[in-house]
Amino acid sequence: MIKMINFLRGVPADESLETIKSQIADGYQNAISKYGTDVLQYGHFGGFRPLREILGETCNVDPERIIAGNGGLEVISLFFKSLPQNSTIIVEEATYDRVITDIARYGHNILGVEMTSDGANLNDLEHLAKTNSAKVFYGIPFHQNPTGINYSEENREAVEAICRKYDMLCVWDICYQTLRYDGISNIPFKVSENGPVLMSSFTKTISPGTKCGYMVIPREMVGTMTNVIANTRINPNLPTQAFIADFMASGKYDEFLGYLRELYRPRMDALNTAMTSYFPETNPVRLTGGFFALVCLSRITEGKEGLFVKSAKDAGVNITSAKAAFAPNILEKNRGKGLFVRLTFPAIKPGQIEQGIARLKEVEQSL
């Protein structure tokens, strides 16, 4: 029986969860012992105050501007829920697919901006902002999901300048900022009173099950966001946030990040090498961190997509089309270019990654 190689979901490696399991168990017990009923009762509307203070210090902002919630997707959802209905949101041409779903859920309009190897296509972004009265730009600047692009600092600053010029709120999802594996540290953002908005979570850096995310919002949005939270939930998972606060304060969080970088680097290198060997014509981004890569298989026409995915599964490789990650206007532009596939690597060992990409090449050639 063929052992399945799963490129579908961006889940952390089992090894990382085994490594941190005992620390999480001890952390919850310590949080209850230290804070008692304070983390078992209603309260801490915008999140656990000690965690917000740590995050505020990290981001160099007043803790009142920090909203800590039940996972990254919740804070993203709270943000889009807080916007006037029928707002126009600009996203990267391919982005976190749940964001596209959430934008549509709250009645907003979605436009995709074209991307370059350095980040957003600035001419396209300015054109979209100018001609559509866009309210928000949402981007993933570090090891972008799903393309793997890492924005240059110059591109990030230029994006923010365009946002200021057209009175468009700049939102950066920085959930992969600390997950860089090539020995270089990403340069963090400078946040003023008016932005940018920062969003992140501990899903990939601690565990998905702990469910904690946060955002840094402009001071003028605090009142509006408080009302949205009041109509959505009263308080988040306080024991989790208390554990994370102590985990960060102890220095163990930074130690664990170092462990993750060492764990994931060989896997990233294996995917980079395999893609260069088997799919050089696709010219994928050379990864430096994160969880994902995006590949376009130009030989797999629209009529062959279903057959390719099924044949890959029969060969022991789970993949799916990345169509759900594309903004509608970009999806139309991509029609006829081939099958776009998102690949993830942290949960797969290097040898399996190479084997999986080789099998995909065999399937492609067979069709």
- CA–CA distances in Å: residue 45 to residues 75, 220, 292: 13, 18, 34
Distance CA 102, CA 150 (A): 24
Query: Which CATH number describes the domain made up of 5-13+264-366?
Result: 3.90.1150.10
Of the candidates 31, 78, 9, 349, the residue with the CA atom closest to the CA atom of residue 210 = 31
For the chain, what are the domain ranges? Answer: 5-13+264-366, 17-253
The three-point CA angle 274-278-284 to 5° equals 70
Amino acid (1-letter code) at residue 92: E
Domain pair 5-13+264-366 / 17-253, same fold:
no
Biggest CA–CA distance in the chain, Å, is 62
277: left (phi over 0), alpha (psi -120 to 50) or beta: alpha
Say how many C-beta atoms besides its own lie within 10 A of residue 347's C-beta: 21
The length of the chain, given as a count of residues = 367
Distance CA 91, CA 93 (A): 6
Q: What is the DSSP letter of 106?
A: T
Distance CA 200, CA 212 (A): 9
pLDDT tens for each residue of 1-48: 678 999 998 999 999 999 999 999 999 999 999 999 999 999 888 999
Q: Per-residue DSSP letters for 125-179?
A: HHHHHHHHT--EEEE--SS-TTT-----HHHHHHHHHHHHHTT-EEEEE-TTTT-
| C-alpha 317, offset from chain centre | 24
The packing angle between helices 252-278 and 14-35, to 10°, is 160
Residue that has been written with the tokens 């169509």 in this structure? 323
Specify the pTM. 0.96
CB 293 within 8 A of CB 271: yes
Distance CA 118, CA 60 (A): 26
Helix, strand, coil % over all residues of the chain, rounded to 5: 50, 15, 35
284: left (phi over 0), alpha (psi -120 to 50) or beta: beta
Distance CA 173, CA 143 (A): 11
Tell me, what's the pLDDT at 284?
76
**Phi/psi of residue 190, nearest 5 degrees:** -100, 130
Distance CA 329, CA 335 (A): 10
Hey, what CATH topology would domain 17-253 get?
A: Aspartate Aminotransferase; domain 2 (3.40.640)
Distance CA 325, CA 97 (A): 4
- What's the sign of the alpha-carbon dihedral 92, 95, 96, 102? positive
What tens-digit pLDDT sequence spans the chain (367 residues)?
A: 678 999 998 999 999 999 999 999 999 999 999 999 999 999 888 999 999 999 999 999 999 999 999 999 999 999 999 999 999 999 999 999 999 999 999 999 999 999 999 999 999 999 999 999 999 999 999 999 999 999 999 999 999 999 999 999 999 999 999 999 999 999 999 999 999 999 999 999 999 999 999 999 999 999 999 999 999 998 899 999 999 999 999 999 999 999 999 999 999 999 999 999 999 988 779 999 999 999 999 999 989 999 999 999 999 999 999 999 999 999 989 988 999 999 999 999 999 999 999 999 999 999 8
